[in-house]
Amino acid sequence: MSSLAQIQQHVLQAVLADTVTAPGALKGDDRATAGTRLAIYHHAYRARLREALAIEYPGLALMAGKSFATLAAGYIEAHPSGHYNIRWHGAGLAAFLDYGLPWRERPALGDMARLDWAISTVFDAVDEPALLAQDLASLAPEDWATLQLHPQDKLQILVTPYNVAAFRKAADLGQARPRLRRHRQPVSLLIWRDGMEVRYRALDTDELAVLEAAIAGANFTELCDRLGQFHGQEQAPARMVQLLQGWLAGGLLRTHT
Amino acid sequence: MTTHDHGKYLPYLGFGLGLRVEHYETLLQDAGHVEWLEIISENYMVPGGRPLAWLEKFRERFPLVMHGVSLSIGSTDPLDEGYLQRLAALARHIEPQWVSDHLCWTGAHGVNLHDLMPMPYTEEAIAHVVERVQRVQDALGRRILLENVSSYITYAQSQLTEWEFLAEIAERADCLILLDINNIHVSAHNHGFSPLDYLAGIPGKRVQQFHLAGHEHGDQLLIDTHDAPVIGPVWDLYEEAVRRFGPVSTMIERDDHIPPLAELMTELEHARKLALPLLKAAA
């Protein structure tokens, strides 16, 4: 190993260490000891990562409250950052909360982190031209049966029994911490982007079924058949039209290229 | 105006600001006398969405330069080819006036410290950085600017002054220099050297850009926070730099505690009022 590589290794290890101990590669002077000087970097590393986590995880910060600082410190110690963009250091936080003690005893935290992270990644995901109502207006009646709808690739669906969306909303609006609730049935949250706006909302059971079918490549007839299992074949087309209008208005569908 | 007289063949842009999200809307409504903008490269090295949509608007209105924080030109880890490809793609897309990053290392052994770690000022480090700058310049198809960082630690192995180190790298790699005047002031205090000696040791023909910023007083050392107004001694040093280096594109760089745009415009106007008479007198 080169001398430069050794120096960088020693300084890196000193910054990552629990306590501040200056390696022999560093020296102090009358103004400040090597330890005092190193301590600035030691502190800054943790402060920067903690700040980045708070920015990426506002819902989690609100839900965890005072515990967030401990949670963030634990994650930072367990996971040195490996990506050039500080934001991506937080990519593993949900898994850390799912499996690490004591956080795994509060499973709402992991789900909260997943919603925050989904919002973060959808925010600057690739742009996909939205399918517009007028794109379908010119469709011949006989073509509707085999029409395939293409939900945007970047949408995410998160299933959780907790009211995590309420926490995120409160955090974004600067409102007070909501009360944590556990629903009797898990809720499916859809996270997508409407133009430049990230949106999220709960999906009804039938909408979840047809959205997943559309993602899998089902055509319009098959989507109506899927809805028929919920509403009967007679009511299915009307419900399908209702859903389609909502998807178009929300920019959820992309043009097929 | 171009800086052909400096042999740099890059334009002189006048007085600009670092582009920050907090000022997006205000800047598009009324840019005042802001002549150009510096973007943080990594903020726009993303697949799509709002950051790139905003960037398009600014690109139509202002000359842009790209300023990165993650090149880690001094690290002994291999250059991050994925990073370099994204950086090159962004540069191809927005066609900035120039691209800059810092003379530092940000991590090693796959760990990123997200800090601008100073280099030991050694011949070995010079050779290492020069070779990497040349590879980056080849990948980008243009010369880059390297910025001096604020530093707190001192390496026992350093054999050169910081300015000798920077000047030697710039000459051997044939790259340009972004001088952060605040960082010179901070490091001069922290390491006990003369900021004027620093300026005197920098090859003027390679200085393409100035940063102006503020800092904090720690117990024993100055801490570069870039979160406060420029202080008097830094303005004095800026005047000396203008006398020495002539017309160099200058900007206020605020990274935290972002104030209203008007406050930064006032600081920028102060820079202009200090520099223009000196430039006129020298002309």
Model confidence pLDDT, tens digit, residues A76-113: 999 999 999 999 999 999 999 999 999 999 999 999 99
* Contact state of B113 with A41 under an 8 Å Cβ cutoff: yes
Q: How far apart are the first and last CA of chain A?
A: 51
For the residues B141-165, what does the mean pLDDT come to?
97
pLDDT value, residue A87: 95
Q: Would you tell me how many other CB atoms lie within 10 Å of the CB of residue A1?
A: 9
* Phi–psi pair at B168, nearest 5 degrees: -65, -40
pLDDT value, residue B216: 85
CB A49 within 8 A of CB A79: no
Dist CA B67 CA B58 (whole Å): 15
Q: How far apart are the first and last CA of chain B?
A: 13
CB B143 within 8 A of CB B174: yes
Nearest to A196 among B47, B49, B190 (CB): B49
How many Å separate Cα A166 from the centre of its chain? Answer: 15
pLDDT in tens, B219-275: 889 898 878 899 999 999 999 999 999 999 999 999 888 999 999 999 999 999 999
B249 at A interface, C-beta within 8 A? no
- Residue whose pair of structure tokens reads 């800026």 in the numeric block: B238
Q: What is the CATH number of domain B5-282?
A: 3.20.20.150
From the list B217, B107, B111, B248, the residue with the least C-alpha distance to A82 is B111
Mark which residues 131-160 of B lie under 8 Å from A by CB: 152-157
The overall average pLDDT reported for chain B is 94
pLDDT value, residue B228: 85
Give the model's confidence band at B4: pLDDT under 50 very low, under 70 low, under 90 confident, else very high: very low
* Contact state of A37 with B152 under an 8 Å Cβ cutoff: yes
Give the model's confidence band at A1: pLDDT under 50 very low, under 70 low, under 90 confident, else very high: low
Q: Which two tokens stand for residue A238?
A: 């009307």
pLDDT in tens, B31-90: 999 999 999 999 999 999 999 999 999 999 999 999 999 999 999 999 999 999 999 999
B111 at A interface, C-beta within 8 A? yes
A127 at B interface, C-beta within 8 A? yes
* Contact state of B113 with A29 under an 8 Å Cβ cutoff: no
Nearest to A2 among B49, B76, B80 (CB): B76
Amino acid found at B216: E
Nearest to A86 among B72, B108, B114 (CB): B114
CA B161 vs CA A12, B111, B120: distances in Å: 23, 28, 10
B78 at A interface, C-beta within 8 A? no
Instruction: Report the DSSP beta bridge partners of residue A156.
Output: A191
B45 at A interface, C-beta within 8 A? yes
* Contact state of B221 with A15 under an 8 Å Cβ cutoff: no
Judge if pTM exceeds 0.80: yes
* Contact state of B125 with A4 under an 8 Å Cβ cutoff: yes
For the residues A186-212, what does the mean pLDDT come to?
97
* Contact state of B154 with A80 under an 8 Å Cβ cutoff: no
Look at strands B176-180 and B222-223 and give their pairing. unpaired
For the residues B95-99, what does the mean pLDDT come to?
97
Give the model's confidence band at B136: pLDDT under 50 very low, under 70 low, under 90 confident, else very high: very high
Could you give the count of Cα atoms lying within 13 Å of A9 in the half-sphere of its Cβ?
A: 8
From the list A145, A228, A41, the residue with the least C-alpha distance to B224 is A41
Dist CA A78 CA A75 (whole Å): 5
Q: Would you tell me how many other CB atoms lie within 10 Å of the CB of residue A226?
A: 19
Residue B2 has pLDDT above 80, yes or no: no
Residues of B in contact with A38 (CB under 8 A): 152-153
Dist CA A60 CA A57 (whole Å): 5
Dist CA A74 CA A130 (whole Å): 41
The residue of chain B nearest to residue A44, with distances taken between CA atoms, is B115
From the list B77, B76, B137, B126, the residue with the least C-alpha distance to B101 is B137
pLDDT value, residue B266: 96
**DSSP characters over B124-163:** HHHHHHHHHHHHHHHHHTS-EEEEPPP---EETT--S-HH
pLDDT in tens, A8-64: 999 999 999 999 999 999 999 999 999 999 999 999 999 999 999 999 999 999 999
The residue of chain A nearest to residue B118, with distances taken between CA atoms, is A8
From the list A88, A7, A81, the residue with the least C-alpha distance to A44 is A81
pLDDT value, residue A253: 98
Nearest to B220 among A15, A26, A31 (CB): A31
What is the share, in percent, of chain B residues with pLDDT greater than 90? 90
Nearest to A9 among B80, B106, B108 (CB): B108
